């Protein structure tokens, strides 16, 4: 355990400060090239730089490469490669919106490093019920998990600060779970993701100075999914991001097809004082945000706080679950 402390500190410092220092440079570069989008939830309709995925990927990858130098294990290399490939898919999607099925299929191929390097355990662990060995089925789960996680975080990226803040909360919770289960190396990998997303949140929080875009949100999700697989904590990881999973389920069940979320009707509109309220459009999808404002309109900042409360609750559930799976009472 002691030999992990110094590499962990170095990697975490690099993860945080590389994103913290690079993001303002990315903001200025995007503004200079007028690569911006309208923030539709502000009365003034400000133009916000997008995407911020470059600073996110630099923070995650540089910190993980440092860890890999100290601990050259296939699991860390698999996350490095999978996350980078997912970033490329997201970057392409930022430049030209992909069709509904193209992005999930492209992200499925991003799982190849995990399979080719054998950086997984085909046993699926459940609380109370123990472990289930599903070798062939688990390989399919790996292929599906990266696009599911990538799109899950991407689909909740609809308000200032939500994607980065949500990822930060979930990643810190998952890190604690991995430490509880004694998987220290992968726990440190997860901390690198947590501190990278925390640094980006500084600029993404309400009111946002930059949006992560698909290259940022998908990178968050793919890294999180890859860590869940190599750490053997798939069920726990799913519990930690349960609000985002519910959001994706509601969205897909209401639109009844795989579709790019930017191509559908907005499920919300604005009041005179610029709070968000549910739209009267019959075909607008059901989302977590729409449920949160079903009773009364809320400001964008208030909705973000409510989502973070749900994320914290899910994170606590994940930690309790890890105790149930890893601690002998």
- Dist. CA 174–CA 226, nearest whole Å: 12
- Dist. CA 276–CA 299, nearest whole Å: 6
What is the share, in percent, of the chain residues with pLDDT greater than 90?
78
- Dist. CA 117–CA 318, nearest whole Å: 28
Reply yes or no on whether the pLDDT at 96 is more than 80. Answer: yes
Q: Are 123 and 84 in contact (CB under 8 A)?
A: no
- Dist. CA 275–CA 269, nearest whole Å: 8
Residue 7, class by beta-carbon neighbours within 10 Å (0-12 exposed, 13-18 middle, 19+ buried)? middle
- Lowest-confidence region among 82-91, 130-139, 262-271: 262-271
Q: What pLDDT, in 10s, does the model give residues 285-314?
A: 889 999 999 999 999 999 999 999 999 999
DSSP conformation class of 286:
P
What is the share, in percent, of the chain residues with pLDDT greater than 70?
94
- Lowest-confidence region among 89-103, 178-192, 198-212, 218-232: 89-103
Spell out the long-range contacts of 25-29 with Cβ–Cβ below 8 A and sequence spacing 24 or more: 25/55, 26/52, 26/54, 26/55, 26/210, 27/52, 27/203, 27/209, 27/210
- Dist. CA 242–CA 309, nearest whole Å: 12
Scanning the structure block, which residue is given the tokens 């998952």?
174
Q: Give the pLDDT confidence score for residue 53 in this predicted structure.
A: 97
Nearest Cα residue to 124 out of 235, 20, 218: 235
- Dist. CA 57–CA 196, nearest whole Å: 9
* Mean pLDDT along residues 6-35: 98
Reply yes or no on whether the pLDDT at 47 is more than 70. Answer: yes
Reply yes or no on whether the pLDDT at 327 is more than 60. Answer: no
- Dist. CA 226–CA 218, nearest whole Å: 12
Per-residue pLDDT band for 98 (boundaries 50, 70, 90) equals confident
Q: Give the pLDDT confidence score for residue 103 in this predicted structure.
A: 85
Helical spans, DSSP H, in 231-276: 234-240, 242-255
Per-residue pLDDT band for 263 (boundaries 50, 70, 90) equals low
Q: Give the pLDDT confidence score for residue 285 in this predicted structure.
A: 85
- Dist. CA 280–CA 16, nearest whole Å: 42
Reply yes or no on whether the pLDDT at 12 is more than 70. Answer: yes
Q: Are 220 and 56 in contact (CB under 8 A)?
A: yes
- Tokens representing 75? 């699991």
Q: What is the mean pLDDT of the chain?
A: 92
Q: Give the pLDDT confidence score for residue 258 in this predicted structure.
A: 60
* For the chain, domain boundaries: 2-257+301-326
Per-residue pLDDT band for 259 (boundaries 50, 70, 90) equals low
* Mean pLDDT along residues 52-62: 98
- Dist. CA 169–CA 316, nearest whole Å: 10
Per-residue pLDDT band for 328 (boundaries 50, 70, 90) equals very low
* Separation in Å, CA 166 to CA 204, 261, 284, 315: 12, 18, 24, 10
Q: Are 199 and 165 in contact (CB under 8 A)?
A: no
């Amino acid at each position: 355990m002691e030999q992990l402390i110094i590499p962990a500190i170095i990697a975490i410092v690099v993860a945080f400060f590389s994103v913290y220092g690079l993001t303002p440079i990315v903001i200025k570069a995007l503004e200079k090239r007028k690569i911006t989008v309208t923030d539709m939830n502000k009365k003034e309709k400000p133009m916000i730089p997008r995407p911020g995925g470059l600073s996110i990927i630099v923070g995650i990858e540089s910190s993980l490469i440092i860890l890999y130098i100290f601990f050259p294990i296939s699991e860390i290399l698999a996350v490095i490669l999978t996350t980078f490939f997912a970033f490329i898919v997201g970057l392409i999607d930022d430049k030209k919106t992909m069709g509904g099925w193209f992005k999930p299929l492209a992200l499925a191929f991003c799982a190849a490093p995990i399979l080719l390097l054998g950086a997984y355990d085909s046993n699926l662990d459940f609380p109370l019920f123990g472990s289930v060995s599903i070798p062939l089925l688990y390989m399919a789960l790996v292929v599906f998990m990266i696009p599911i996680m990538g799109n899950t975080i991407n689909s909740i990226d609809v308000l200032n600060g939500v994607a980065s803040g949500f990822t930060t909360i979930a990643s810190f919770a998952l890190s604690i779970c991995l430490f509880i289960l004694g998987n220290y190396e992968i726990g440190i990998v997860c901390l690198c993701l947590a501190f990278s997303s925390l640094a980006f949140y500084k600029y993404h929080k309400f009111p946002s100075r930059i949006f992560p875009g698909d290259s940022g949100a998908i990178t968050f999700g793919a890294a999180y999914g890859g860590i869940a697989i190599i750490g053997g904590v798939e069920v726990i990881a799913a519990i930690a991001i349960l609000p985002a999973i519910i959001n994706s389920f509601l969205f897909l069940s209401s639109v009844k097809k795989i579709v790019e979320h930017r191509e559908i009707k907005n499920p919300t509109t604005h009041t005179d004082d610029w709070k968000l309220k549910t739209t009267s459009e019959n075909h607008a999808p059901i989302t977590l945000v729409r449920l949160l404002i079903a009773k009364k309109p809320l400001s964008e900042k208030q909705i973000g706080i409510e989502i973070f409360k749900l994320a914290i609750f899910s994170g606590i559930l994940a930690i309790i679950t890890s105790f149930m799976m890893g601690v002998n009472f």
